[in-house]
Structure formats: structure tokens, C-alpha cells
Structure 1
Amino acid sequence: MRILLVEDDHLLANTMLGMLRDDHNTVDWLDDGQQALTAITDEHFDLAILDLTLPRVDGLDILKHARRQNVATPIIILTARSDLAEKLQGLDSGADDYLTKPFAMAELKARIRAVTRRASGQADTGIKVGSLTIDPEHCQLRLGDDPLTLPRSEFQILHYLMRHPDQVATRRRLEEQLYGWDHGAESNALEVHIHHLRKRIGKSVIRTVRGVGYLLDSREAEQVGQP
């Protein structure tokens, strides 16, 4: 999952980056409100974690602008502002959740799971397509009844494809899931990860859409593990 973290406390942000990335997330970090406003309206993220007190543009203004622009990205406000009126204002302005500092990282992770479940229409943490079930909370894949632990990059690709079955994911979108704003990857790295995934779950499950990207075929996923 690709997350935008907007936080101007560098010590806190670095701690959060490590913990969020430990859960197989790609996290892009900004400490400036104007840059965050541009990023959240112009780019695709699966989730944004937004502080309110920011340089140049206040987080609440970012939230309001994003919703006026019909940006549907789930947004969790994370702030020291604990006044009830401000919390209600944040939620009424379109925030999906509101967490005050200080906070426990375990609680933030639980709220992330809840918000992303609601956004994807899932009733629980597991995402099931055919015979494939992926558990983002424990970073594990099940092929029928057989558990399989995936490397980080393969997990992120499959997680995205399973959240959008039978929909073409462009090469750029998948690379954003893997690297965010880090462009240091080799040009064929995505193809290598797709190749390894196909060896694990079956070549026909992930289809190449020539010149565009890749698609997870839900009908083929039903046959995984079948004799």
C-alpha cells in the first residue's frame, strides 16, 4: 500500500516511516503543507496521514481542498489538536478518522486497517480473489489452505492487484506502489517481480496487457491449487 505521510516533526516522522515500512508499505513523506496539497491532489495514494499544524498550508485546508477536488483517498488526521470542536470539524470536512498525539503506533495501524477496509468494501482484513487470500495485517498469502510468505515487493504488487481484480494496473501505478518517489529501481525490476509471482501462483493468473500493464484474472485465480 502506498501511503502519504504529512508530518513536520522530523523525529516522529522518521519513527513512523520505519514502522509503517516494516508492514510492507511504501511511504512518501512531506513536511510542508503546500507540497502536501499538490501531492494529494495530483498523485495516487492508498492512504494519507495528515498533521494539521503545517508550514504554509494548514492540514485542515488541505483536507477541504482535496475533498472539493473529489479526491477519494482515505485520510487520517494525526494531530496534537485535541479539542472536540476541532475534531468534529476535521471529520465533517471529510477526514476518515482523527487520532490525537501522543498515540500508540499499534492504534494507528489498527485505524489504518479499519479505514482501508471501509474504503475497499472489505468486511475483514483478508482480501480473497478466487483461491487466493492475502492478509495485509500479517503480510501473508494463502493458496487455498497453504500459507506462503512473500518478499516485500511481490507482496505489494499482489496486494494492489488483488484489491483491483480484473482491472488493468499500469506499469507506472505498480512502480509507485513499490517505490513511491524513490526512482532508483532498475528498469526491469517490475517484470522480475511479476515473473517470480507467476511462478508462485500460476502464469495465467497475472495477465500482461501489452503496452499498458498487468491484470489479475479472477477466473484464473479460482483455479489456483486445483488438480
Structure 2
Amino acid sequence: MFARSSIKLILVEDNDVLREMLVGSLESLGYSLVAYDSAESALASPEAQACDVAVLDVNLPGEDGLYLAQQLRYKNAGVGVILLTVRNQLADKLAGYEVGADMYLPKPVTPEELDATIQALCRRLPGVIRADLILHYPTHQLLNAEGLNLLLSPEDARLLVLLAQAPQARQEFWELAEHLELDLDSDTFRANLEKRISRLRRKLTQLGQPATVIKALRGYGYQLNCTVNIQ
């Protein structure tokens, strides 16, 4: 599963009702997306040109979705393209694939099917970051792939960053204590460090991680057993 909020997603749909319905449904699943009502408005947007996945209606006013797919692919060769269409003829699908579409979905499409298609497409896109958790460090918000989130304390966020950015996600006792400004000469520094580790571990399990998400390494330190995308 890819963390939905880490996927740069755009939707281009000229039907106002359908566009608003899909935006609301995708946002409720945890996606952060930008929506447009025409190919021209999308092509004028820097966000659209730098997206990971583009969900495009084929029958757009002005330039159609096939033209838009071709232009997005020209500007960003790694973009994933999903076409939404009422056209179901082989010739229409071949035309879409020829201009760079990756997948076709018949309209009307359900949010569940679109979500599954986006996730499947992301597995083939090298530019999309796959992570178990996303930490927005300035706000200390921690999110999982389903969009559930909780607020970490500054101390917990700092500890998570130290573990996530360490080689092999491992940190020695003394390194953690030094970064966290614990007194290495104190008889209780190991107990204080374990208390902080336990508190962070409990919070990670609240977001679906296993109890072994932070493992104690005898005589060494701790290892983080999940991937974290730090933003």
C-alpha cells in the first residue's frame, strides 16, 4: 500500500457534480489532489505537470483527454495516466494507449475502484515514494497509508526522525541519548530512553504498526522496523 497523501494526484473532469463527488471521496480516503475542469487549465498548472498520477476524463471540452495525456507524458515521462471514458470500443482504448495512457476505467467509476487502480498503478511508477508512515515534521503530524493520523509531541517526532534516518534504521543507545540530551552519566538514562521508546512505539501501533515496530537490540540500541517518509 502506498501512503495516499504522498501521491501527487490530479483529476481532470468537466462534469461539476462528478468532479466534486470524486474529489470528496478521494480526499476522505487520504489523498491530496488538485482538480481541473479542462485540459487547458491543467496544462497551465505547475502542479499538473509535476504530478505522479493523472486521472483524466476523455470527453473534455476544448482539447480532449487524449491530447492532455499526450502533453502530460511529454512534459513528465514518469507520470501515470488513468483515462475515464464512456467509450468502450477497442479502437478508443488503443488510441488512449498510443498517447501514453496506462489504464482505462469505464464511467461511471466508483471511488473504491479508482482508489484500487491508483494504488496498482503506483506499484509500477518508480517516482512514487512507498512508505508505511508519513511524518510532516513541521507540524509533527504522523499519517499512515489509510490516511489515519495522530499528533506526536516534539520529543516523539524527534526520536522517530533519529531512528528513521539512521543507517539501517538503527541507533545506538549513546547516540540516541546524546541527540535527546539525556545525561549519559546518569544511572537512569537507559530507563529514561526506554520510556521514550515505549511511548513512541505505542503511538506507532495506534496507526497499525506491529508491536515489534521498534525493536530493542541487546547491547546495542534500537531498530525501527517500518519505513517513514519525512516531509
Contact 1:30 1:36 in 2 (8 A): yes
Mapped partners of 1:222, 1:79: distance in 2: 49
Q: Which residue of 1 aligns with 2:84?
A: 78
Does 2:149 match 1:150? yes
Mapped partners of 1:10, 1:219: distance in 2: 48
How many residue pairs get aligned? The number is: 160
Which has more radius of gyration?
2
Does 2:94 match 1:100? no
Deviation for aligned residue 1:202: 1.9
Mapped partners of 1:197, 1:96: distance in 2: 41
Contact 2:50 2:76 in 1 (8 A): no
**What is the TM-score when the length of structure 2 is the normalising length?**
0.58
Gaps of 5+ in 1: 140-148, 155-192, 206-215
Q: Which residue of 1 aligns with 2:167?
A: 219
Mapped partners of 1:43, 1:196: distance in 2: 37
Mapped partners of 1:96, 1:102: distance in 2: 18
Contact 1:32 1:56 in 2 (8 A): yes
CA offset digits 1:130-174 (Å, max 9, x no partner): xxxx862x34xxxxxxxxx524xx8xxxxxxxxxxxxxxxxxxxx
The one-letter code matched in structure 2 to 1:103 is V
The one-letter code matched in structure 1 to 2:22 is M
The one-letter code matched in structure 2 to 1:204 is L
Deviation for aligned residue 1:46: 2.2
Gaps of 5+ in 2: 1-6, 134-142, 172-212, 217-221, 223-231
Mapped partners of 1:5, 1:62: distance in 2: 12
CA RMSD of aligned residues (A): 3.3
* Secondary structure at the counterpart of residue 26 of structure 2: helix
* Secondary structure at the counterpart of residue 202 of structure 1: helix
Does 2:37 match 1:31? yes
Q: Which residue of 2 aligns with 1:204?
A: 162
**What is the TM-score when the length of structure 1 is the normalising length?**
0.59
Deviation for aligned residue 1:100: 1.1
CA offset digits 1:195-215 (Å, max 9, x no partner): 58725x52424xxxxxxxxxx
